[in-house]
C-alpha cells in the first residue's frame, strides 16, 4: 500500500459499497429513537431546573424591560445573549409557557438535531453503520432535551446545522447560523478558533472578512434593542467570559478543592493549557499539509497583498483552497471544540450536549481498537450520569478525556483537500 492513509479514509473506502444500507440503518435508528422520545415525554417525570427562570426572564423582556440587570429568574440574572430571549419568547408563544407542550417541542427538536448529526456522520463515513446507534444511547442527553428543556439544545442544533453548511462550503450562510447559535449560548464560541482556521484554508481573505462581518452584524441586530438602551448592561451580562461556576455542580473538576477551583490562578492555568493544546493541533495537525500554522497564515496574507500574482494564478489558488474534504472539516471542528471541553473550568450536566454527539466520531478517529473505543464511550456516559459528581467520577472523566485527546494527537491525519484525497485513494 502506498503512503499512509487515515483511519477515516480507510473506513470511507471500506464503506463505499454500503452507503445505502448505512443510510437505512441511520433512518431506523432515528425512528427507534423517536419512539423512545415519545415514551420519555409520556412516562418519565419532568425535572424542574431552569424552565421557570427562563420564562420569568422572557416575561420581563415581553413586558418591555431592556435593562439586562433587571431581567432575572429564580436561578439568578439573565446571562445569555439576546437570541435566547427571542427563541424562548417564541417557545412561550407556542406552548403558553406550559411544560408538557414544551417537552413535545423539545422532543421534535431532539429528533431534528439527531437527524442533522446522522447526516453529518453519513457524509464523513468515519463510523461503521452499527456505531451510529451510539448516538441514540445517552440517558443524559435525552434528559437534557426532554426533561430539562435547556437552551443548550437550541444552540447545539443550530451549531450542527452550520456544520452541514460547512460540509458544502457555504461559508457565509454557515457563519450566519453559527452566529445565531452563539446568540443563544456562548459555549458555541469553542468552535470559533477551528472554524476560523478552516475559513483561512477555504476562503480568500476578503471572503473571511465578509463572512465575519455578516456574523457580527447579526449579533448587533439581535442585540439592538438592548445595545440602544443599556449597552453596558447587555454586553457585561450577555458576554461575560469570567463567570465563576459553583463547585458543587462541576462534573469534570470536582476532585479539585473548592478554594483552588474558584481561584483566578486555576482559571488562568486552564486557559493557557487550552490555548497551548489548540495551537499545537492547529500547527502540527490541522495545518501540517500547508507547512504549519504560521506558514499558512503567512501564505494567506501574502496572497491577499501580493501584486505579482496574475489574476489567473490567484483564482486557481483560491479554487484549490476551497476544496476542503468533509472529513477534515468535521475533524477540525469536533477536535477544536473537544479541546475546549477538556480544559473548561466547570462542566455542568447540561454541558454534556456540547460534545456528546462528536464522541463517536472522535473515538473512531483515534487508533484505539474498537473495544477500547466502546469502553471509553461507556465511561464518559457513566461519569455524566453520576449525580452528584464525586471526587472519583470527575477524575475518571478527566482521565478519559485526556486519553481521547492523546489518541487524537497520535492518530494518522486525513488529507485536507478533496482533490488530493481522491488521488491517494485511487493509488491505494
pLDDT (0 to 100) of residue 404: 98
- pLDDT tens string 380-410: 999 999 999 999 999 999 999 999 999 999 9
The mean pLDDT value for 241-266 works out to 91
Band (pLDDT 50/70/90 cuts) for residue 300 is confident
Among residues of the chain, what percentage have pLDDT more than 70? 88
Rounded Cα distance between 237 and 234, Å, is 5
The mean pLDDT value for 86-115 works out to 98
pLDDT (0 to 100) of residue 73: 87
pLDDT (0 to 100) of residue 167: 96
The mean pLDDT value for 125-138 works out to 96
pTM for the model stands at: 0.91
The mean pLDDT value for 170-183 works out to 98
Dihedrals φ, ψ of 33, to 5°?
-70, -35
The mean pLDDT value for 190-206 works out to 95
The mean pLDDT value for 264-274 works out to 96
pLDDT (0 to 100) of residue 13: 44
The mean pLDDT value for 367-391 works out to 97
The mean pLDDT value of the chain amounts to: 90
pLDDT (0 to 100) of residue 241: 78
pLDDT (0 to 100) of residue 305: 66
- pLDDT tens string 41-96: 999 999 989 999 999 999 999 999 999 999 998 888 899 999 999 999 999 999 99
pLDDT (0 to 100) of residue 225: 97
How many angstroms separate the first and last alpha carbons of the chain? 6
Out of 222-226, 298-302, 375-379, least confident range: 298-302
Rounded Cα distance between 374 and 134, Å, is 9
Q: Pull the grid cell for residue 28.
A: 431506523
pLDDT (0 to 100) of residue 17: 42
Q: Does the bond joining 388 to the residue before it have cis omega, within 30 degrees of 0?
A: yes
Rounded Cα distance between 423 and 5, Å, is 12
Rounded Cα distance between 116 and 139, Å, is 19
For 72, the enclosing helix (H) or strand (E) is strand 72-73
Q: Pull the grid cell for residue 369.
A: 481498537
Amino acid at each position: 500500500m502506498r503512503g499512509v492513509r487515515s483511519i477515516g479514509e480507510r473506513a470511507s473506502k471500506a464503506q463505499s459499497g454500503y452507503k445505502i444500507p448505512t443510510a437505512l440503518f441511520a433512518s431506523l435508528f432515528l425512528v427507534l429513537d423517536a419512539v423512545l422520545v415519545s415514551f420519555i415525554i409520556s412516562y418519565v417525570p419532568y425535572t424542574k431546573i431552569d424552565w421557570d427562570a427562563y420564562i420569568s426572564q422572557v416575561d420581563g423582556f415581553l413586558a418591555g424591560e431592556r435593562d439586562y440587570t433587571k431581567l432575572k429568574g429564580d436561578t439568578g440574572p439573565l446571562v445569555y445573549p439576546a437570541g435566547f430571549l427571542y427563541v424562548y419568547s417564541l417557545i412561550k408563544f407556542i406552548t403558553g409557557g406550559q411544560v408538557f407542550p414544551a417537552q413535545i417541542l423539545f422532543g421534535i427538536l431532539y429528533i431534528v438535531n439527531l437527524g442533522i448529526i446522522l447526516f453529518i456522520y453519513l457524509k464523513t463515513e468515519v463510523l461503521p453503520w452499527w456505531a451510529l446507534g451510539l448516538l441514540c444511547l445517552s440517558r443524559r442527553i435525552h434528559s437534557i432535551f426532554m426533561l430539562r428543556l435547556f437552551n443548550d439544545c437550541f444552540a447545539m442544533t443550530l451549531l450542527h446545522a452550520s456544520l452541514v453548511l460547512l460540509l458544502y462550503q457555504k461559508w457565509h450562510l454557515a457563519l450566519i447560523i453559527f452566529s445565531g447559535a452563539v446568540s443563544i449560548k456562548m459555549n458555541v464560541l469553542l468552535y470559533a478558533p477551528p472554524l476560523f482556521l478552516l475559513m483561512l484554508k477555504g476562503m480568500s481573505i476578503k471572503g473571511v472578512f465578509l463572512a465575519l462581518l455578516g456574523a457580527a452584524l447579526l449579533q448587533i441586530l439581535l442585540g439592538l434593542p438592548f445595545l440602544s438602551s443599556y449597552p453596558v448592561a447587555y454586553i457585561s451580562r450577555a458576554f461575560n467570559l469570567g463567570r465563576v461556576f459553583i463547585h458543587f455542580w462541576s462534573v469534570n473538576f470536582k476532585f479539585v478543592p473548592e478554594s483552588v477551583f474558584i481561584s483566578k490562578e486555576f482559571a488562568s492555568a486552564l486557559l493557557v493549557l487550552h490555548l497551548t493544546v489548540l495551537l499545537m493541533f492547529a500547527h502540527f495537525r490541522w495545518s501540517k499539509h500547508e507547512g504549519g500554522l504560521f506558514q499558512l497564515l503567512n501564505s494567506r496574507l501574502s496572497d491577499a497583498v501580493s501584486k505579482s500574482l496574475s489574476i489567473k494564478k490567484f483564482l486557481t489558488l483560491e479554487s484549490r483552497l476551497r476544496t476542503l474534504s468533509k472529513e477534515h472539516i468535521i475533524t477540525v471542528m469536533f477536535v477544536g471544540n473537544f479541546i475546549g471541553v477538556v480544559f473548561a473550568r466547570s462542566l455542568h450536566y447540561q454541558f454534556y450536549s456540547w460534545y456528546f454527539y462528536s464522541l463517536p466520531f472522535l473515538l473512531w478517529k483515534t487508533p484505539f481498537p474498537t473495544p477500547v473505543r466502546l469502553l471509553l464511550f461507556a465511561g464518559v456516559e457513566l461519569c455524566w450520569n453520576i449525580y452528584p459528581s464525586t471526587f472519583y467520577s470527575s477524575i475518571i472523566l478527566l482521565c478519559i478525556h485526556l486519553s481521547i485527546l492523546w489518541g487524537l494527537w497520535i492518530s494518522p491525519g486525513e488529507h485536507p483537500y478533496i482533490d488530493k484525497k481522491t488521488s491517494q485513494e485511487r493509488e491505494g
